[in-house]
Structure 1
């Protein structure tokens, strides 16, 4: 490791020396940002930082890298001396282009580890040998290392370089980086107290990154097709039931899952149920447990059976009722008088509302995303017609032995059955939720 040049760098945290190094180990140009006297010193405060153009330069919130670099500079300045070793190992060693490809995979639902693996890389390809060589070239005897990564400590120690203390760096958890930080804890052994930090600092639920990703996918789909992005969302028991008896409401999910359902409602432009659910549950379909706007309520009611006393007709937003030309005109007049808007649409061969035609109409009316909450007949119809884009299924740890969420066979060929691709499994209270795109 050869020192080639150095210059004074004044910063808001104080004046550093930036030292440039060349080496015959990896042929990369690594840097050291040094403050004060460190030669021959023990317990020097050190941060070994791997280059992150998106975080360090652009301030990207997808990661905590830029924040850690700034925090390390400030910590060294407060100490009065120390070293920040800046290694040119972009994207945990895979390079900027591959990191951007990994970002795209993360936007599809893969975590930061699996994204690297899918691209043919290791989860972490960094080599900390250059850091040891730089610290030795600077004459540092031993260090206190600013890091959350035990593998970094282990790597330096494997080169017989003394690390006398690991100093944690608590990140700011945001909607954009929560899944990334969680993956570093779960998959890469990073030592972070995310649960306590999230509760104390942001109150962000564990499913927040998935909600953010879902909203982005919905917007992209509507922009490209003009039709609403359809999310199926329902709660079932371990044996796949949504009710104990036909036409009877049953509370299945726990309160935290209900809160998640309201967050899903708030993230969609519209919410749809079938007439069976409207009659059995008399729902309001509003957002009450979280902050957010109420979605546009839509009821699929082929024969206009919704009673004028329904809660949906007492809500602030006018309910839209999708029906067929065969529905009685007198029922339409009665429901319109009660405040509903009637959408007459083509019927299928069995006299039900043509859901594909309904989606076209809803897109024309400006709905970019639609959450379908049930019941079984509507869920089954959307699945059978391959009209749903995404599913969020809550599974409660109970057995019911009643009415199943999917109430008829969908396809005799197993390879053609609807399935969730790349499912993301998140525990919400006692319930398990499964998120993913439908194929």
Structure 2
């Protein structure tokens, strides 16, 4: 049986501010190990509420470093916290809980990655989904226990979020009244507020949802429930034809106008828009396996699933000649654990650790430069009934597949930007001196702001 949740007030101190004087208390708990905080004004227990004839005014605020500390305009968190402080101070009684649940529970690193996705067109919900998280991972169990420790069981809650009310009531509190805490919409946060109202059920009154006089752009919502495979371009929706002795190989990646797939090697760079991202997931569902290099895993920590559409997840395959695969990778937590292709030079101890975590490590011959022999890898996949493989990167893997003449189809997303960064394709003539492929029967289609170019690769 799980240990009951317990909280313990470690210390408290007087905190004078420009809106009033508070008592700041730091709490320890046995659930998440984080240091949650409570800001108190006046007598906060239920007995005082009965005496005053009104439940206590409470704000349960989740940490937002960018908004609360830096004053970021991307969200409404900083202004909400400031407004709650003023309201509690003016009332003379109240509590503000400051929960260490950055980024709706995903943490600051993943929140910054989500911001980068939002900058190329995904909304705050889809950005979380693309990174492998739920739209909102916050947990209000500790908040409920802290309020109970302060003698509070009935409250007026400052919030626009009905899930927060339900979360507190689920753990034994009574929310007697919801006090709206709506901030002004402007150019930087209008789309964010619209998404919270439209997709997360937040109780916001937006005069013109999603715009409100701003320059925010609307983007289509990615449907994560319907079967979107029928939306594939007809030429891409057919099953890939078989190849003798190896799987059919589709190269699929996004690049800028100048051919860059990242600003710098090893740096996560989001290039394509949401419509092209959805197409990528549709294509994944049409392939038996998805293959990337270890550099992509280290830079992006991808999940390699089809979570934006309905369909089967492909088998993740990682080319990792020196077995640098990290034990913290999300791929080790997915339903389909990765197959990691390495060479005899890899460390046996690292292999044992990865296999204990659920990965399959495949030792294969190496080519003269020490990299995994791709022909041997594809033969292995064919023996495991992998008839089609989608290769997504990074640059070294893409270049090596082209140099070995092992690619059959190209699906290229071209984004209207210039990065001046890492090129997708190396100098292949220098690698093997042979002719490079030509794209035959090329076709083009625009998706959102991007152009999709696709066709068959042939070597003459």
Q: Identify unmatched segments of 5+ residues in structure 2.
A: 1-226
What is residue 242 of structure 2 aligned with on the other side? 221
Pick from 275, 278, 283: which aligns with 2:297? 278
SS of corresponding position for 1:432: strand
Pick from 315, 331, 342: which aligns with 1:312? 331
CA distance in 2, matches of 1:414, 1:239: 24
* Aligned positions of 1:335-350 closer than 5 A: 335-350=354-369
What is residue 52 of structure 2 aligned with on the other side? none
Shift of 1:429: 1.1
Q: Does 1:381 align with 2:400?
A: yes
CA distance in 2, matches of 1:280, 1:267: 25
Shift of 1:221: 1.6
What is residue 171 of structure 1 aligned with on the other side? none
Pick from 389, 400, 413: which aligns with 1:370? 389
Question: Structure 1 residues 365, 423: CA separation in 2 closer, same or farther (over 3 Å shift)?
Answer: same
* Aligned positions of 1:14-413 closer than 5 A: 207-213=232-238, 215=239, 218=240, 220-222=241-243, 225-410=244-429
Q: Is contact 1:241–1:400 with CA below 8 Å preserved after alignment? A: yes
Q: Is contact 1:271–1:370 with CA below 8 Å preserved after alignment? A: yes
CA distance in 2, matches of 1:271, 1:305: 19
CA distance in 1, matches of 2:294, 2:431: 28
CA distance in 1, matches of 2:432, 2:322: 33
CA distance in 2, matches of 1:232, 1:325: 27
Q: Is contact 1:226–1:368 with CA below 8 Å preserved after alignment? A: no
Shift of 1:203: 7.5
Shift of 1:301: 0.3
CA distance in 2, matches of 1:425, 1:348: 36
SS of corresponding position for 2:340: strand
SS of corresponding position for 1:284: coil
Q: Is contact 1:206–1:426 with CA below 8 Å preserved after alignment? A: no
What is the RMSD computed on CA atoms of the aligned residues?
Answer: 2.0
CA distance in 1, matches of 2:397, 2:350: 22
Question: Structure 1 residues 233, 323: CA separation in 2 closer, same or farther (over 3 Å shift)?
Answer: same
Shift of 1:418: 1.6
Q: Is contact 1:420–1:436 with CA below 8 Å preserved after alignment? A: yes
What is residue 30 of structure 1 aligned with on the other side? none
What is residue 420 of structure 1 aligned with on the other side? 439
SS of corresponding position for 2:428: coil
Cα deviation digits, residues 327-352 of structure 1 (max 9, x gap): 11011001101110011100000110
Shift of 1:422: 1.3
What is residue 433 of structure 1 aligned with on the other side? 452
Return the TM-score normalized by structure 2: 0.49
Shift of 1:412: 9.2
What is residue 74 of structure 1 aligned with on the other side? none
Question: Structure 1 residues 412, 268: CA separation in 2 closer, same or farther (over 3 Å shift)?
Answer: closer
Question: Structure 1 residues 414, 328: CA separation in 2 closer, same or farther (over 3 Å shift)?
Answer: closer
CA distance in 2, matches of 1:347, 1:398: 37
Cα deviation digits, residues 165-195 of structure 1 (max 9, x gap): xxxxxxxxxxxxxxxxxxxxxxxxxxxxxxx
Question: Structure 1 residues 203, 345: CA separation in 2 closer, same or farther (over 3 Å shift)?
Answer: closer
Q: Give the number of the structure whose alpha-carbon radius of gyration is greater.
A: 1
CA distance in 1, matches of 2:258, 2:328: 34
Q: Is contact 2:293–2:394 with CA below 8 Å preserved after alignment? A: yes
CA distance in 1, matches of 2:431, 2:382: 32
Question: Structure 1 residues 415, 311: CA separation in 2 closer, same or farther (over 3 Å shift)?
Answer: closer
Cα deviation digits, residues 270-329 of structure 1 (max 9, x gap): 000000001000000001111101000000000110011101111001210000011110
Question: Structure 1 residues 346, 208: CA separation in 2 closer, same or farther (over 3 Å shift)?
Answer: same
Return the TM-score normalized by structure 1: 0.51
